[in-house]
Amino acid sequence: MTTDIELTKNSIIRIVGPARIDVVEGRILIVGAVYGKGSSIVVHSVRSYGMKVLESTKLRITLGSNARIEYPSSGEEVIDEWLKIAEDVTRSRKRPIIAIVTGPVESGKTTLTAFITNYMIQKGMKVALIEGDIGQEDLALPATIAMAMPKKTFVWQRELVAEFFKFIGYTSPQYCYGLVIKALGDLLAKALSMGVEAVLINTDGWVNSPQALEYKLNLIRWLRPTHAIVLDSCLAEVFESAAPKHVAVIKAPRPAKVRARSREERRKLRSEAYMSYFKGARERTLRIDEVKVIGSCVLSGKRIEAQELLNNLPLSTDFLKNVVYASLYGGLLNLVVKGPVKDDDTSFSKRELNIVREDDFRGYLVAILNSELEDVALGIIKNVNFKEGIIKILTPWSGEISALIMGRIKLTNNYEDFVRVGRCVI
Ligand SMILES: Nc1ncnc2c1ncn2[C@@H]1O[C@H](COP(=O)(O)OP(=O)(O)OP(=O)(O)O)[C@@H](O)[C@H]1O
Ligand SMILES: [Mg+2]
């Protein structure tokens, strides 16, 4: 359905996607950027945005299913307040500007990060945007964090191309926030080394526990931002109370009515992102005795001849016949078996033994490092054949592979992800 609407200067509307907005006359501000006559903006189906009319404007809006135009009542939209924040941060005399955006789930973190980035781009600044939410696919794949240096304004980070990324291997920060902080620090250093005037860092929405707050405050400690922009008043109080004085804590209001995403929609968005990343991928075969692996108990361990150790273990001969690989990883003995594992084969000493099936490797998401130990691509383990000594991975990467990093994320054939937590990956 296409509707033409005329709006007066300073009016604010909300568009719930999927929708396309064509500016026929006038000028509007959306996600911190100004669009004039002849421009078009696309609002994705799971997104909504507030839009401000900067001068008498005519819009042609095409609405997809369930999309709508809303006329917010006063106080519902926050565009003026966000604009003021963008202006204040941009005007700051501190250079380079390093601004961290934090807040609860669905509070507008991703959009406010985009808003300020766009505002700065239109002021002619060289800006980097770092996506630090490992649970989402906004800029790079889930389980990674990424950095982009957008030259043009955008609506959603999905439109950007990540220039650098770091694989974390989890989609929830509670298991790995030290790693996230380190990786964010690396990307920040990279951005600064490229001479940017400002870096905007988006974060995840995990803020509701002491551990989460410790993580968020550690971001301040290790990233040393000039600004912490907080989309929640309780969280802002914590930052005000704990952050050193030179960090400007800015409280930002959150939009009152947003297009929230259900668990299923979030899952679907992640799986779409994996699917599109691996669309042109091909299978590569690596030799187990050549490729270096970090993060797998079995593959990172020292290979041992199974027989001598097995002679000393009370395992059934039937079970022994199925053992195709053994390795030692610290005090842990890893055994890879072909076929199913029965409980009575293994229950006697689960503490020292890690028994996995050859098939268990299938579907793990891995990162590929080049010889400089930089993350260059992701892959999915398709198959490990211990008898033949090979690992097959699906990846769009065709360059050298110096090492694989195993994460805790496994993908199904439909690219649905699930997390495997526990002592060992495999
Ligand atoms: N000013 C606004 N008016 C209405 N909806 C908005 C506005 N800003 C953002 N939204 C919508 O609110 C939802 C949440 O916004 P956003 O994704 O920016 O929040 P978030 O805090 O990053 O969420 P998450 O915790 O899922 O990462 C999205 O659908 C977004 O399009
Ligand atoms: Mg977000």
Using CB distances shorter than 6 Å, the residues near ligand 1 are 14, 46-50, 77-78, 103, 105-111, 133, 136, 205, 255, 258-259
Q: Which two tokens stand for residue 152?
A: 């043009």
Name the residues around ion ligand 2, CB cutoff 5 A.
109-110
Ligand 1 centre distance from Cα of residue 269 (Å):
15
**Residue written as token pair 């941060």:** 89
What pLDDT is stored for residue 346 in this prediction? 55
Question: How far apart (Å, rounded) are the C-alpha atoms in residues 295 and 7?
Answer: 57
- DSSP assignment of 190-207 equals HHHHTT-SEEEEE--S--
Given a cut of 80, whether residue 344 has pLDDT beyond it is no
Which residues lie closer than 8 Å to 106 by C-beta, 6 or more apart?
205, 258, 260, 261
Rounded to 5 degrees, φ, ψ at 130 are: -115, 125
Residue nearest to atom 9 of ligand 1 (CA): 108
Ligand 2 centre distance from Cα of residue 106 (Å):
7
Largest Cα separation within the chain, whole Å, is 85
Mutation choice for ligand 1 from 12, 28, 68, 106, CB with most ligand atoms inside 8 A = 106
- Minimum-distance ligand 1 atom for the alpha carbon of 113: 18
The dotted CATH code for 280-426 is 2.40.30.330
Mutation choice for ligand 1 from 45, 48, 268, CB with most ligand atoms inside 8 A = 48
Q: Burial level of 2, CB count in 10 A (0-12/13-18/19+)? A: exposed
**Residue written as token pair 């903006």:** 41
pLDDT in tens, 262-274: 999 999 999 999 9
DSSP letter at 404 equals E
Cis peptide, bond prior to residue 18, ω within 30 of zero? yes
Q: What percent of the chain has pLDDT over 90?
A: 86
Which residues lie closer than 8 Å to 4 by C-beta, 6 or more apart?
24, 58, 59, 60, 61
Ligand 2 centre distance from Cα of residue 183 (Å):
18
Ligand 2 centre distance from Cα of residue 216 (Å):
15
Ligand 2 centre distance from Cα of residue 356 (Å):
36
Given a cut of 70, whether residue 347 has pLDDT beyond it is no
pLDDT in tens, 379-404: 999 999 999 999 999 999 999 999 99
- Minimum-distance ligand 1 atom for the alpha carbon of 111: 18
Phi/psi class of residue 329: alpha, beta or left (left: φ > 0; alpha: ψ in -120 to 50)?
A: beta
Ligand nearest to the CA of 108: 1
* E strand map for 231-291: 248-251, 282-287
What pLDDT is stored for residue 317 in this prediction? 76
What pLDDT is stored for residue 345 in this prediction? 56
Determine the average pLDDT of the residues in 270-290: 96
Give residue limits of the domains in the chain.
2-70, 79-255, 280-426
What pLDDT is stored for residue 342 in this prediction? 65
Model pTM score:
0.94
Mutation choice for ligand 1 from 111, 133, 203, CB with most ligand atoms inside 8 A = 111
Q: What is the mean pLDDT of the chain?
A: 94
What pLDDT is stored for residue 148 in this prediction? 98
pLDDT in tens, 243-253: 999 999 999 99
143 bridge partner residues: none
Ligand 1 centre distance from Cα of residue 108 (Å):
4
The dotted CATH code for 79-255 is 3.40.50.300
pLDDT in tens, 11-62: 999 999 999 999 999 999 999 999 999 999 999 999 999 999 999 999 999 9
Distances 156 to 7, 17, 30 between C-alpha atoms, Å: 24, 12, 11
What pLDDT is stored for residue 350 in this prediction? 47
Q: Are 250 and 102 in contact (CB under 8 A)?
A: no
Question: How far apart (Å, rounded) are the C-alpha atoms in residues 277 and 85?
Answer: 35
Ligand 1 centre distance from Cα of residue 124 (Å):
26
Given a cut of 50, whether residue 304 has pLDDT beyond it is yes
The answer regarding whether domain 2-70 maps to CATH 2.60.120.10 reads yes
- Distance between the two ends of the chain, CA-based, in angstroms? 52
Determine the average pLDDT of the residues in 310-332: 82
| Neighbouring C-alpha atoms within 13 Å toward the C-beta of 159 | 15
Ligand 1 centre distance from Cα of residue 60 (Å):
23
Mutation choice for ligand 1 from 110, 130, 172, CB with most ligand atoms inside 8 A = 110
What pLDDT is stored for residue 63 in this prediction? 97
What pLDDT is stored for residue 110 in this prediction? 98
What pLDDT is stored for residue 318 in this prediction? 78
- Confidence grade of residue 78 (pLDDT, cut at 50, 70, 90): very high
| Neighbouring C-alpha atoms within 13 Å toward the C-beta of 409 | 28
- Confidence grade of residue 343 (pLDDT, cut at 50, 70, 90): low
DSSP letter at 261 equals -
> E strand or H helix at 165, and its extent?
strand 164-167
Q: Determine the residue type at 1.
A: M
